[in-house]
Structure 1
Amino acid sequence: MRNNERSTHFFIPSISDLIKLIKIDSIYAKSNPCSGKNSPRKGNMQPCPESADKAGGDAPSQKCTCRVPESTKSASDRGITGAGVTGSRTSCVSERGKEHALPEGASNPRLLRYIHNTARYRIPQCFEGACVSLKQSAKNNWVLGHSMSFSSVSPGGYKVLLSYVDKNKEIGLPYFVMEAAPGGQMSCELRVGPTQGTRATVVAQLAEAEIYSFESILDAYFNNFTASIITVNREFIALHYLQAVTNKISLGAELVARGQAVELSSASGAARWVSDDHSVSATLGNRGLDLCYAKAIKPFLTVAAMLEVGFAIRRAVATLAYEWHTDQWTVRSSVDSDGLVGATLQRALGGKNAQLACAVSALLNHPNDKFRLGFGVTATII
């Protein structure tokens, strides 16, 4: 939902993408796993440095020089209809880290922008080309990473990752991550916990010696509801509220205001019903309708269905997806009404706790008769 463009894009997985993709466990609707660093659906315009938990949604388009051609599409690139809540599909990796843990007494309903993630996390994050990543973890909470990517579709090259997480604290805060490329592109994220029930996040992206994107997010967790304030580039602000009505039902609302494009301002309501193995979520506003359903059929198999209807652009997109996983394997696949069929395979080499992993991606674009293949290897040194 970041832009209402009809084209979508491939992306080269960053170091943290490939590392986190292999850490999969069973997902049940009631736990509402937040798609962490964001949702299973990427925004339409992919910045080359990975940035976490983007405000996303209706945020203004960003002028990253590393974007891939608009003619390409990815199964993970959804949100083109403009339906749904802000930030609900702006990233791809599950938010399972300790830095996102809720304060004591605030176990439900989590954040509004993750309301659809139980279903959207099943969509594969397809990429193109090859990527080799190395992560070095130190005992003093710092992690240094290196990544080399090769692609004929999007710009590749070398990237360095530096991150800090306080491992001695249950919530993992403060949290800092920086990713930089020799060409001058850089992405930085800082998350702190001013109080037990609040989280403050700042994300900045730089290119050509200027800040082209600056996002700030303040999340507040209470006993039975959450609230968020999201601002992007002084041009976009969103207010979120999600209330736990019962243990299984949550209701929320979102207000989005834009300074330069007032016609893109919106108001929407959201609802979610969950059980131990089902999740149904819906978002309805003046810009569109979004419906998501997920069901855990077995401990190792989850299926999902999604429908997006954009009122302004008069377009609808339906998606079916599934995830199958064991301790060593994770397979995700999806097909949508646009004719995109994608799948990813992650394999932890050597067992569940292996320090070496590989990822394979395949995407078939029926309308354009194009096929893309990706392969990545990640090694961790402790």
Structure 2
Amino acid sequence: MNRTESGPKFYIPTLSDLLKLTKTKTIYAKSNPNSPRKETLLPCPPDTAGGGDAPQVPKCACRVPDGTKSASDRGKTGAGVTGSRTGSTCKRDKELALPAGATNPGLLRHIHNAARYRLPQCFEGACVSVKQRTHNNWVLGHSMSFSSVTPGGYKVLLSYVDKTKAIGLPYFVMEAAPGGQMSCEIRVGPSKGTRATIVAQMADRELYSFESIFDAYFNNFTTSVIGVNKEFIALHYLQAITDQISLGAEVVARGQASELSSASGAARWVGEDHSVSATLGNRGLDLCYARAIKPFLTVSAMLEVGFAIRRAVATMAYEWHTDAWTVRGSVDSDGLVGATLQRALGGQNTQLACAISALLNHPNDKFRLGFGITGAII
């Protein structure tokens, strides 16, 4: 993953973003909460087949991070809790077999997702992706990308999801490129209330990135342990005080750079159509607000302040969606303006989707445009 003040060091975009359909029904949408916020662009758009809150073909609700490092991503100042490479996991309360009356707050690293999911995931160039499903839970995918900014070429993906189980576990995905690069992700459920994830990346016959995550869900709180290479280990805790209020804390211990170790507290207040979340620690402040303006529009605002680098970034974003398409847009105090249009071709139940992306960098007077199309063979 790219190195940030508060995140893992290494990252390679994964094709699983192209082969997953997103399904969200409430303001608690899922996203990648801690990607480095830069203008480097993704070679392919995420496969959403309508995206946002539009009804989708039934799929696992997990959203593997888009691997994006664009104007829409957060984490530039190093404020907020430490995210993970795998982003949101398959986490639906009804699938965790929690007892009746349990109030589970979700994971700490997803505390800002209601606001951050509205950010457009911009990309550059052109991409064509095709996936083929089989009757034995396996999916084979192919992708060809063309870009003048990021390396293009052909990639193949092999994934496995147990369709016989509501939670879709065990889950496995492997991506490989002709140049020898390969990434692999495995997620299992040791028990009804736990999730374990391992992500490994290889290049030139060497293992250069390894991340392990263990999440535990209890009646009214969650805990997580995240380890990345030999660089740091993060401990997360999030407690549901009431149905609307959650409080949590994070401790990050770094071995090679102890001065970058950190501790932070977090809080979230949610209502029927709004969400307010904040994290505050010795590294910085992260404040997010999201509001659903029914029935088709959601707006959000984010403020990120890095104490160490003495920098603040403010962002405003929106998501406008129907059953067949989703538009996301954002503008921030750095002068970056981005937007994406994701369209399900032929209707919401189609297996063909396209995405268009535009990103304008006012300070550098640069403009990037992207187009992608994704199809599925059943």
- Normalising by structure 1, what TM-score? 0.85
* Contact 1:340–1:363 under 8 Å retained in 2: yes
> 1:289, 1:261 → 2: CA distance?
21
Partner of 1:381: 377
Deviation at 1:300, TM superposition (A): 1.2
From the superposition, tell whether residues 101 and 125 of structure 1 become closer, same or farther in structure 2 (CA, over 3 Å). Answer: farther
In structure 2, runs of 5+ residues without a counterpart are 6-10, 47-62
> 1:361, 1:118 → 2: CA distance?
21
Partner of 1:220: 216
From the superposition, tell whether residues 354 and 12 of structure 1 become closer, same or farther in structure 2 (CA, over 3 Å). Answer: farther
> 2:238, 2:12 → 1: CA distance?
34
> 1:268, 1:144 → 2: CA distance?
41
From the superposition, tell whether residues 254 and 98 of structure 1 become closer, same or farther in structure 2 (CA, over 3 Å). Answer: closer
Partner of 1:200: 196
Task: Report SS of the residue matched to 1:263.
Answer: helix
Deviation at 1:108, TM superposition (A): 1.6
Partner of 1:147: 143
* Contact 2:16–2:64 under 8 Å retained in 1: no
User: How does 1:150-161 map onto structure 2 within 5 Å?
Assistant: 150-161=146-157
User: How does 1:261-276 map onto structure 2 within 5 Å?
Assistant: 261-276=257-272
> 1:369, 1:194 → 2: CA distance?
51
Task: Report SS of the residue matched to 1:312.
Answer: coil
> 1:188, 1:236 → 2: CA distance?
21
User: How does 1:202-281 map onto structure 2 within 5 Å?
Assistant: 202-281=198-277
Give the counterpart of 2:310 among 309, 314, 317. 314
Structure 1 residue 182 corresponds to structure 2 residue 178: yes
From the superposition, tell whether residues 280 and 328 of structure 1 become closer, same or farther in structure 2 (CA, over 3 Å). Answer: same
> 1:215, 1:13 → 2: CA distance?
15
> 2:97, 2:111 → 1: CA distance?
19
Partner of 1:102: 96
Partner of 2:3: 3
Deviation at 1:101, TM superposition (A): 4.5
Write out per-residue CA displacement over residues 322-353 of structure 1, whole angstroms, 9 at most, x where no aligned residue.
00111111000000000000000000000001
> 1:326, 1:373 → 2: CA distance?
23
Structure 1 residue 351 corresponds to structure 2 residue 350: no
* Contact 1:270–1:283 under 8 Å retained in 2: yes
> 1:118, 1:287 → 2: CA distance?
22
> 2:94, 2:64 → 1: CA distance?
11
> 1:380, 1:53 → 2: CA distance?
18
From the superposition, tell whether residues 148 and 379 of structure 1 become closer, same or farther in structure 2 (CA, over 3 Å). Answer: same
Give the counterpart of 2:120 among 103, 106, 124. 124
From the superposition, tell whether residues 24 and 174 of structure 1 become closer, same or farther in structure 2 (CA, over 3 Å). Answer: closer
* Contact 2:43–2:125 under 8 Å retained in 1: no
From the superposition, tell whether residues 299 and 380 of structure 1 become closer, same or farther in structure 2 (CA, over 3 Å). Answer: same
From the superposition, tell whether residues 212 and 268 of structure 1 become closer, same or farther in structure 2 (CA, over 3 Å). Answer: same
Write out per-residue CA displacement over residues 234-265 of structure 1, whole angstroms, 9 at most, x where no aligned residue.
22100000000000000000000000111110
* Contact 1:109–1:242 under 8 Å retained in 2: yes
> 2:269, 2:2 → 1: CA distance?
26
Task: Report SS of the residue matched to 1:191.
Answer: strand
* Contact 1:34–1:96 under 8 Å retained in 2: no
The count of corresponding residues between Structure 1 and Structure 2 is: 351
> 2:93, 2:136 → 1: CA distance?
17
> 2:110, 2:131 → 1: CA distance?
28
2:3 aligned partner, one-letter code: N
Write out per-residue CA displacement over residues 113-148 of structure 1, whole angstroms, 9 at most, x where no aligned residue.
000000000000000001100000111100000000
Partner of 1:17: 17
* Contact 2:162–2:171 under 8 Å retained in 1: yes
Task: Report SS of the residue matched to 1:189.
Answer: strand
Deviation at 1:78, TM superposition (A): 2.3
Instruction: Indicate the RMSD between aligned Cα atoms, in angstroms.
Output: 2.7
Task: Report SS of the residue matched to 1:113.
Answer: helix
- Normalising by structure 2, what TM-score? 0.86
- Residue identity over aligned pairs, in percent, reads 74
* Contact 1:42–1:76 under 8 Å retained in 2: no
* Contact 1:33–1:96 under 8 Å retained in 2: no
Task: Report SS of the residue matched to 1:158.
Answer: strand
Deviation at 1:100, TM superposition (A): 10
> 1:341, 1:209 → 2: CA distance?
39
Task: Report SS of the residue matched to 1:317.
Answer: strand
> 1:24, 1:369 → 2: CA distance?
36
Deviation at 1:266, TM superposition (A): 0.1
Structure 1 residue 296 corresponds to structure 2 residue 265: no
> 1:283, 1:318 → 2: CA distance?
15
